[in-house]
Chains A and B, each alone.
Chain A
Amino acid sequence: MHSDIVIDCQHLSHSYGKRQIYNDLSFSVPRGRILGLLGKNGTGKTTIINILSGYLAPSAGRCTIFGTDVRHMPHHMRRQIGLLIEGHVQYQFMNIEQIEHFYAPFFPGQWRRDAYYELMRKLRVAPRQRISRMSCGQRSQVALGLILAQNPELLVLDDFSLGLDPGYRRLFVDYLREYARAEQRTVFLTSHIIQDMERLIDDCIIMDYGRILVQQPVGVLLEQVRQYTCSVPEGYSPTPHQQLYHPTVSHGRLELTSPIPHQQVAQLLRADGINPDELQSHPLNLEDAFIGLTGKY
């Protein structure tokens, strides 16, 4: 429980039938960090969450949480793992009070009833309103409130922004960030809305189909990854290079994304027959960096 690595996945491979999702994937999440898993649809984000939460046996490889294999985790360790299922799924047949009464006895000594009801007061719904009759945003707050009340060491959140309007997304992100920073909690999350991630996460893993493209602190990523543009002669076709991501030519201008410095990009372009004197580099936000590294399609 006191190791610096909270989540450790080594050599993960998984396939659905003949379709391989990824092969030999390894990553780890240090204690007290908020890590966002970014990837396009179908890159296996939910598959990783399912493996981590013990609801999927990977074809190969091993995942540990707090040093224990997730497939053989003693049930009491689940007290320290808060799980948010995609779509903020909760027991729809319960109301706000009932669901709190239901969960509280499972977490003796750590349940923070006040944290839950503080968030519920913001919803302005009757305490006896059933969760099934709430909006998606309200349901997300109930799910978050329950996780905050559980007060776990690790939070695993699958696509927390799904179906939320900007106001609820902001509320969710701000609450989660304040909580995780104040309590030094470790968070592993996925989301489709990358602007939200930028406000929230310390580190990111960017996944492409079947592999991890990048795993590093967001600050370092945004410091390194740049968009580069320059004029190119008519009929120019870019030569593929491992460090130049998704080069495209439109109306005589080359556009690409790369994590390597300006000088090295210029050298590579010169070797490709391009005059790099006009080469310009532009800083990117997380969403643009993600699109630049993974491509638009």
Chain B
Amino acid sequence: MLKSIALKEWLKTRWFLLLINVIMLGSSGFLMLRMHRAMDIKGADHIWQVMLLRDAIIVDSLATLPMLLGVVLALVQLMPEMHRKCLKLTLHLPCSRLKTTSAMLFYGVITLTISFALCLGLMHVALRPVIAPEMVRHVLLTTLPWFVAGLTAYLLAAWICIEPTWKRRVLNLALTAMLLRVFFLSDTPESYNGFLPALTAMGLLTCSLVWLSVLRFIDGHQD
């Protein structure tokens, strides 16, 4: 049954997942190429100097990209379910509704995680030969909260999407904006290091909000 759910989610999202990977790998690849080119022109020592003295992390233009992709993945995955209340079909399957909903969200979280991991892997591979391991670690740790924001944005967008009433959707949207703001409070690299495990746990726990929307859908709430 879980295989069937995965098939359904795959059919909805396969082209968008390809696009996510192209965008993530394309934009991080572009930043890596730009850095390598700058090193060719100005020398590696100049880039090291900029990174150490100005606390630059080269890839800061990626900051909001995972969050945006998380939101769009939730829309691509769940809008077809909400179109003409197709979700009724999914929840009518002879399978626990909690399990069905969790499987759908798990699919989204896993596919996003794979995309983000590929992006981190590409950055690691591209940075490792040209800058010190400590600086690679510094760049990757700084980007981690952005990826966690992407996963959290996916779950919160799913919460908004499945919510059956517009009034509550607006409220959910406001709460989502506030929660996601937490991920972008500081521009200082690695400022989230100590807080990241708690932030990740909070982000993943937002999946329980999606279940609240499902329960409201089952109860027949409407505007």
The chain A residues found within 8 Å of chain B, CB to CB, are: 16, 50, 53-57, 75-79, 81, 83, 85, 87, 89-94, 98, 101-103, 105-107
Asked if B11 and A55 sit within 8 Å, CB to CB, the answer is no
> What is the CA–CA distance of A55 and B217 in the complex, to the nearest angstrom?
7
Asked if B84 and A106 sit within 8 Å, CB to CB, the answer is no
> What is the CA–CA distance of A91 and B88 in the complex, to the nearest angstrom?
11
> What is the CA–CA distance of A149 and B11 in the complex, to the nearest angstrom?
22
B94 contacts which chain A residues (CB < 8 A)? 75-79, 106-107
Starting from the known contacts A55-B217, A55-B218, 8 additional A-B residue pairs (CB-CB under 8 Å) come to: A56-B219, A75-B94, A78-B93, A78-B94, A85-B86, A89-B85, A91-B89, A106-B94
> What is the CA–CA distance of A75 and B98 in the complex, to the nearest angstrom?
11
A91 contacts which chain B residues (CB < 8 A)? 8, 11, 80, 86, 89
Q: How far is the CB of B77 from chain A (nearest CB, A)?
A: 11
Asked if A85 and B220 sit within 8 Å, CB to CB, the answer is no
Kindly state whether residue B4 has any CB partner on chain A within 8 Å. Answer: yes
Kindly state whether residue B96 has any CB partner on chain A within 8 Å. Answer: yes
Asked if B1 and A105 sit within 8 Å, CB to CB, the answer is yes
> What is the CA–CA distance of A101 and B10 in the complex, to the nearest angstrom?
13
Q: How far is the CB of B65 from chain A (nearest CB, A)?
A: 26
A and B contact pairs by CB, cutoff 8 A, 18 listed: A54-B218, A56-B220, A75-B94, A75-B95, A78-B92, A78-B94, A79-B94, A83-B89, A83-B92, A85-B85, A85-B88, A89-B89, A91-B89, A98-B11, A101-B7, A105-B1, A106-B1, A106-B95
Residue-wise interface mask of B (89-115) relative to A, using a CB-CB cutoff of 8 A (1 in contact, 0 not): 101111111000000000000000000
Asked if A85 and B93 sit within 8 Å, CB to CB, the answer is no
A101 contacts which chain B residues (CB < 8 A)? 4, 7
Among candidates A50, A57, A87, A94, residue contacting B84 with C-beta atoms closer than 8 Å: A87
> What is the CA–CA distance of A78 and B1 in the complex, to the nearest angstrom?
14
B42 contacts which chain A residues (CB < 8 A)? none
Among candidates A55, A57, A92, residue contacting B80 with C-beta atoms closer than 8 Å: A92
Q: Which of B2-31 contact A (CB under 8 A)?
A: 3-4, 7-8, 11-12
Asked if B89 and A93 sit within 8 Å, CB to CB, the answer is no
Q: Closest B-chain residue to A54, C-beta based?
A: B218
Number of A-B contacts (CB under 8 A): 72
B93 contacts which chain A residues (CB < 8 A)? 75, 78, 106
Q: Closest B-chain residue to A57, C-beta based?
A: B219
Kindly state whether residue B83 has any CB partner on chain A within 8 Å. Answer: yes
A85 contacts which chain B residues (CB < 8 A)? 84-86, 88-89
Among candidates B7, B8, B220, residue contacting A55 with C-beta atoms closer than 8 Å: B220
Q: Which of B35-53 contact A (CB under 8 A)?
A: none
Q: Closest B-chain residue to A80, C-beta based?
A: B94
A75 contacts which chain B residues (CB < 8 A)? 93-97
In the A-B complex, the 5 residue pairs with the smallest Cβ-Cβ separation, listed nearest first, are A56-B220, A79-B94, A78-B94, A89-B84, A57-B219
Among candidates A54, A56, A77, A102, residue contacting B8 with C-beta atoms closer than 8 Å: A102
> What is the CA–CA distance of A16 and B94 in the complex, to the nearest angstrom?
29
Asked if A106 and B4 sit within 8 Å, CB to CB, the answer is yes
Q: Closest A-chain residue to B164, C-beta based?
A: A55
Q: Closest B-chain residue to A50, C-beta based?
A: B220
Asked if B96 and A102 sit within 8 Å, CB to CB, the answer is no
A92 contacts which chain B residues (CB < 8 A)? 80, 83, 86
> What is the CA–CA distance of A106 and B90 in the complex, to the nearest angstrom?
11
Q: Contacts A75-B97, A89-B84; is A57 near B220 (CB within 8 Å)?
A: yes
Q: Contacts A93-B11, A105-B3, A105-B4; is A53 near B219 (CB within 8 Å)?
A: no
> What is the CA–CA distance of A98 and B11 in the complex, to the nearest angstrom?
9
Asked if A90 and B89 sit within 8 Å, CB to CB, the answer is yes
B218 contacts which chain A residues (CB < 8 A)? 54-55
A76 contacts which chain B residues (CB < 8 A)? 94
Residue-wise interface mask of B (208-222) relative to A, using a CB-CB cutoff of 8 A (1 in contact, 0 not): 000000000111101
B11 contacts which chain A residues (CB < 8 A)? 91, 93-94, 98
Q: Closest B-chain residue to A77, C-beta based?
A: B94
Residue-wise interface mask of B (45-85) relative to A, using a CB-CB cutoff of 8 A (1 in contact, 0 not): 00000000000000000000000000000000000100111
> What is the CA–CA distance of A216 and B92 in the complex, to the nearest angstrom?
30
Q: How far is the CB of A16 from chain B (nearest CB, A)?
A: 8
> What is the CA–CA distance of A54 and B94 in the complex, to the nearest angstrom?
13
Q: Closest B-chain residue to A101, C-beta based?
A: B7
Q: Closest A-chain residue to B80, C-beta based?
A: A93
B3 contacts which chain A residues (CB < 8 A)? 105
Q: How far is the CB of B99 from chain A (nearest CB, A)?
A: 9
Q: How far is the CB of A157 from chain B (nearest CB, A)?
A: 13
> What is the CA–CA distance of A123 and B155 in the complex, to the nearest angstrom?
40
Asked if B88 and A102 sit within 8 Å, CB to CB, the answer is no
Q: Closest B-chain residue to A103, C-beta based?
A: B4
Q: Closest A-chain residue to B97, C-beta based?
A: A75
Q: Closest A-chain residue to B14, C-beta based?
A: A93
Residue-wise interface mask of B (176-199) relative to A, using a CB-CB cutoff of 8 A (1 in contact, 0 not): 000000000000000000000000
